[in-house]
Structure 1
Amino acid sequence: MQFQVILPILGILLILFSTSSLPPILVALIYQEQEISIFIYTFLLTLLLGVLLWFPFRHIKDELRAREGFLVTALFWVVLGSFGSLPFLLMESPSLSITDAMFESMSGLTTTGATILTGIEHLPRSILFYRQQLQWLGGMGIIVLAVAIIPMLGIGGMQLYRTETPGPVKDSKLTPRITETAKALWFLYVFLTAACALAYWLAGMNLFDAISHSFTTIAIGGFSTYDSSMGHFNSPMIISVAIFFMLVAGVNFALHFTAWRHKSLTHYFQDPEVKWFLAILGVVGMITVVTLYMSDTYSLSKSFRYGLFEVVSVATTTGYTSSSSFSAWPMFLPLMLFFTSFMGGCAGSTAGGMKVIRVVLIAKQGMRELRRLVHPNAVFTIKIGGRPVSPRVGEAVWGFFATYILMFVLLFLALLATGLDFTTAFSTIASCLNNLGPALGEAAFSYHSLPDAAKWILAFAMLLGRLEIFTLLVLFTPTFWRY
């Protein structure tokens, strides 16, 4: 392991991350808040450590290999999540423990959206802005991860675009150089965020709320500046804007890149994953709307508005809530939405979950096995968009699925061991592993009352889900550390 290559990279990441304290400093100045000192301390401490890690190894030019890349990726979230907790740890009211500060920071950076805070609207504006900004930075990190790191793992996600699968992107990189890819993605990410903020502002939000919520909408994070989330605004127009941009952020950013480059929307309608994504959301949305109306929960118009909003919010793992928490909805709806979050959005998006393309492939493989029972000597080929899928990709998808479920079960049992009841343990681990945020039971409104041990388990689950399982688990294998 070339630690002399890893340390300066971490140093550079910390130096870059230290600048995340500058916008909250500006917000604190605008609103004349005393929290400005918190962000100055955070900026200086993060910058100093970053320089200390980078400076001694600044002349080393060795190339980063795949193994070091996995370690840097995992350390990216662990180290930045730790330093991201400093403002939460330093603020006086509410006073947070190390566990709570780390939980809030990790939830933000992994775009999970689970929070231990209550009375959010009473927090200083600078702290609120910082929370939203954490998710925005984490969301961009996921896009770069999907393009640069995940294809190396071969776990049935982005590598599909290197096969003959129809779609605009046939390789793991959108442009010939990964640096150019990162620039293109940053441009798209910033553009979509600005468009979302403008739409929120035109829909009725004030400028601060519009910018703050655009951060967490495009990042599919779900943090809000109010306890009641989107329900605070009670606006059909704002709900509509949120639905549109959550859907946009839940689609593969490679498609956005291609649509922008070719100035055409046809690629969206040709992509099989997007078709399945919208079809599944349509079916789940229809079931939800009809159930809400037939159970007299809302009127027809409100059933459509709130039902569709919550389906998109949960399925894309954003985690916004509307008029009331979906945990209070009748019958099977809360559980159905939680299972939908396991699917998540498209590969290469900021959404969590297993990703639509993997779910579709698993379903197709299941159907193939049923046909084999009837015709045992026939040869059936799995196809996506009319093109055959490599058996290696199918095996990788099943391996990912099995590992995902195994980790869910193990972490679920670990939460039960901390004393949580069945509903709380099941919903919180599902929420955090899928990077969703909202939960049921004791954590329906806040994770604050959970035991510290449960919070650390859930923070690990957030990281595990955000890094697509294998990126983190590979670090725990003896083979990884052998030279």
Structure 2
Amino acid sequence: MTRRRTVRGVPADLATILRDVGALVLMQAGLMALSVAVAGVFRELYVALAFLLAGGVTALVGAVTRKLFAEAPNPQMKHGMVIAAGGWFATAAFGSLPFVFAAYLVPPDVMATFVPAGAEYGQSSLRYFRNPLHAFFESMSGWTGSGLTMAVHEPSLPHAIQWWRSLIQWVGGVGVIVLTTAILARPGSGSYTLYQAETREERIHPSIVHTVQTVWKIFVGYTAFAVAALFVAIYLSEPLSPGTAFWHALNHAMTGLSTGGFSVTDNSITSYDSTLVETVLLPIMTLGAIAFPIHYLMLTERDPRALFEDVQTKWLFVLFGLGAVALTAQNLVTPQFGDAFLGRGDAFRDSTFQFVSALTCTGFQSAPIGRWSAGGKLIVSFAMTLGGAAGSTVGGIKIIRGYTIGKGITWQFSRVFLPSSAVVNVEIGDRLLDREGMEREFSEAAIVSMLWLIILFVSSLVLVNVAGPSFTYADALFEVASAQGNVGLSSGITGPEMPVVAESMFLLNMWIGRLEIIPILVFLRSALYGLDP
């Protein structure tokens, strides 16, 4: 009988997982330390203390775990998927600590000062985070780039909490595991295993660490561009001071480019009611939905053909056009159109922005979608379910899977009319697949998509039975598609008063949506039976 290897009395497989999850937790402590400085800038001393305590707890757990199991073996693929799933869960759990600590440490009289002058509401939304489930929900929504929120009035949150929400979406958009491999991983240390398990297959360089570093350079550059463009648009559109306009631009640039969708205004982008702001946000959201290798080719080779030769990018723009037209037509024939669009009568503007926001999985809201017809909600639900390009910051099933399934069905039909000896190759983007390759690609795309849709429909059936009589099945399907697609658009169901069953289910939906199901299934199977075959 072979004796299993252990590290400090813990099975080697578990030690590997705990060590690498500890690295993710430790990384988050650094982000909390940065947020202490932000709280200090705005003189939010109680909130600074909350981040300091949260960072201390997080750093202690992460550092101890890494040190205890430093000698654990490098991860294999079976470890990578469990680390990815467990890492995202642990990151969301520890990321909730600043919300909880701030909600309890800030005195009521100080909390009242966070409410903007002249606001119709009198209490800060920070109080909702005294409920640990709400805090965990907000953190999971942030790290997964979902954007659904328990903060009813975002302007009533402390600046440092607003920053924390935007920061975790910005980091989570590219991937907390990707960031950690860039900073902490050494060549040959199994970093590709973690990168691959986090569902990102595209490589820019042969070295995965260099790939990740390049991704982050592009991301930071785009963020700077987005902040500048949004600052100009917001300052010209709103009677805000330069400092406030910059704060809005910074946060919306971070959450727009990462396709996360958290906002610092009361009604997301609706608060601006500005065509200019919405127009500037359209390319920012689109940048986040295009695969990063395409950005790299565009920036290094300066060849615009790279953008239009990529199958996912081509279909992204085709779907933008078709979806905007379909949604506009649907909203124009809706009897309640005038009420739903607050009398502005701008169907094309709102329909275009909302469809792009949904397909890119950003979740910025420019219209009262809760008042839209069931048909309009279903069109947006389709966009949230599909999502943008694989290799970008988006959620959803991904365009490449939809394209592969369509090609696979056509390929299967064509084989019926050909002799069994015929060789039929299939072109997927720039790849030419033989029969074995096509069957493998088609099966993977079909299985993931089928599981995704099964969970979507089961969850929507649960939600429609607990959400209350004022919500229809279209509302329930819309809300689940938003949570599982990591989008953040809402028909009005999500909030601190929602049923605990629904809130807990959405935590699972967001977690599943971020990691595309398979790593979650491997995680659950490993928790029950271990990692042995």
Normalising by structure 2, what TM-score? 0.80
Question: Which residue pairs with 2:9 in the alignment?
Answer: none
Say whether the 8 Å CA contact 1:153–1:470 is kept in structure 2: no
Structure having the higher Rg: 2
Equivalent of 1:53, from 39, 57, 65?
A: 65
- 1:469 aligned onto 2:517: yes
- 1:30 aligned onto 2:41: yes
Equivalent of 1:99, from 133, 140, 151?
A: 133
Question: Which residue pairs with 1:448 in the alignment?
Answer: 496
- 1:482 aligned onto 2:482: no
Question: Which residue pairs with 2:396 in the alignment?
Answer: 353
- 1:311 aligned onto 2:355: yes
CA distance in structure 2 between the partners assigned to 1:290 and 1:143 by the alignment: 42
Say whether the 8 Å CA contact 1:142–1:350 is kept in structure 2: no
Question: Which residue pairs with 2:120 in the alignment?
Answer: none
Equivalent of 1:71, from 62, 75, 82?
A: 82
After TM superposition, the structure 1 = structure 2 runs for residues 31-180 of structure 1, keeping only pairs within 5 Å, are 31-33=42-44, 34-58=46-70, 60=71, 62-92=73-103, 93-96=126-129, 97-141=131-175, 144=178, 148=192, 172-180=202-210
Change (3 A) 1:89 1:69: same
- 1:321 aligned onto 2:360: no
Change (3 A) 1:135 1:386: closer
Change (3 A) 1:173 1:382: same
- Displacement after TM superposition at 1:428 (Å): 2.4
Equivalent residue letter for 2:164: Y
CA distance in structure 2 between the partners assigned to 1:150 and 1:359 by the alignment: 25
Change (3 A) 1:261 1:45: same
After TM superposition, the structure 1 = structure 2 runs for residues 6-17 of structure 1, keeping only pairs within 5 Å, are 6-17=17-28
Equivalent of 1:18, from 22, 29, 35?
A: 29
Say whether the 8 Å CA contact 2:327–2:379 is kept in structure 1: no
CA distance in structure 2 between the partners assigned to 1:265 and 1:57 by the alignment: 48
CA distance in structure 1 between the partners assigned to 2:64 and 2:456 by the alignment: 38
Say whether the 8 Å CA contact 2:330–2:375 is kept in structure 1: no
CA distance in structure 2 between the partners assigned to 1:11 and 1:150 by the alignment: 14
Equivalent of 1:334, from 377, 380, 383?
A: 377
- Displacement after TM superposition at 1:221 (Å): 0.5
- 1:397 aligned onto 2:430: no
- 1:240 aligned onto 2:279: yes
- Displacement after TM superposition at 1:318 (Å): 0.7
Between 422-431 and 145-154, report the one with greater CA deviation: 145-154
Normalising by structure 1, what TM-score? 0.88
**Where does the alignment leave 5 or more consecutive residues of structure 1 unmatched?**
160-171
Between 278-287 and 386-395, report the one with greater CA deviation: 386-395
Say whether the 8 Å CA contact 2:173–2:393 is kept in structure 1: yes
CA distance in structure 2 between the partners assigned to 1:89 and 1:217 by the alignment: 26
Secondary structure of the corresponding residue to residue 429 of structure 1? helix
Equivalent of 1:218, from 257, 260, 264?
A: 257
CA distance in structure 2 between the partners assigned to 1:364 and 1:289 by the alignment: 29
Question: Which residue pairs with 1:259 in the alignment?
Answer: 298
Say whether the 8 Å CA contact 2:80–2:194 is kept in structure 1: no
Change (3 A) 1:179 1:353: same
Equivalent residue letter for 1:366: I
After TM superposition, the structure 1 = structure 2 runs for residues 226-305 of structure 1, keeping only pairs within 5 Å, are 226-293=265-332, 297=338, 302-305=346-349
Between 470-479 and 13-22, report the one with greater CA deviation: 470-479
CA distance in structure 1 between the partners assigned to 2:16 and 2:276 by the alignment: 50
Q: Deviation digits for residues 339-366 of structure 1, max 9, x if unmatched? A: 1211100010101100001111212223
Aligned length: 464
Change (3 A) 1:288 1:412: closer
- Displacement after TM superposition at 1:337 (Å): 0.9
Change (3 A) 1:263 1:315: same
